[in-house]
Structure 1
Amino acid sequence: MAPELKVHDFHPAIRPNGLYWIADVPSGGLTVSQDGRKATLKLAALAVIDQPRWPAPDAEARRARLDVTVVWTATDEPVTLDDPAHQFRFKGWKAIAQAECRAEVPSLGFTWRSGPLATSRASFAVIGEEANGKYYGASSP
């Protein structure tokens, strides 16, 4: 099967403490507008693993890199959730999310690129302030 037709699964390595799907965001990698209504995440050359047969225990892993940009922009529709039983509170807005990604597996000579950021649009995001757990009792966001 041609490499472009194979399934790829890109993920950060499992941390020594067992956390999975966690990546460090470098300084300046996340910017939030002063009014809190727009946020941009940019990760360049993020070291990940390409493991197409995951979660098979013997799944081969190859070093890979991702370039990812995600932009969340608030709409004018407010969202407020307050659930004392589960110690969860959120106050913000529904948002439009846009994403762009480039993946590279150097050992295979494989590169994939999504469509450009301007063509991406998902309307299932929220942006705002959250309080949960021990922070739930603090002042309202």
Structure 2
Amino acid sequence: MLTRFVKLWMAGLFTLGLMSFPAQAAEHGSANEAKAMVQKAIDAMKKHGVEATVAEINKRDGQYQDRDLYVVVYDMNGKNLAHLNPKMVGKEMFDLTDIDGKFFIRERIELVKAKGKAWQDYKFINPTTKQIEPKSMYVEKFENVIVGCGIYK
């Protein structure tokens, strides 16, 4: 179990890393666009494999990022495999909480285990506005990974 200090350090690192990304466009992505990005990533995983697709997702300004939308990938233990913020890749995120204390990665894992795919609400730093905002993440399980893309409300 991570100590409180390590959890706070990881949350701070996560926040600072996202805040370093320049604002792209003021326009928000839609729920349908988020679902389409997840499906695009899963289709690529089916065609090229999980590892190759994760490498592509981790490329800055690649095909899996659009405005405030970006695809994330976690293993079923909460380890981050792909993220907009390269500092988060490889980090164990199971115990990460949002500003309200919600263990959103734990919840994400439980949702896909139970349903295969779902929408999840939590609060997170928006990389374009640099503010903590309500966010809904669409997540889908594929093989042994969770693929997600979220929208800011």
TM normalised by structure 2 equals 0.28
Higher helix share: 2
Structure with the bigger percentage of strand = 1
| Max Rg structure | 1
Give the TM-score, by structure 1 length.
0.29
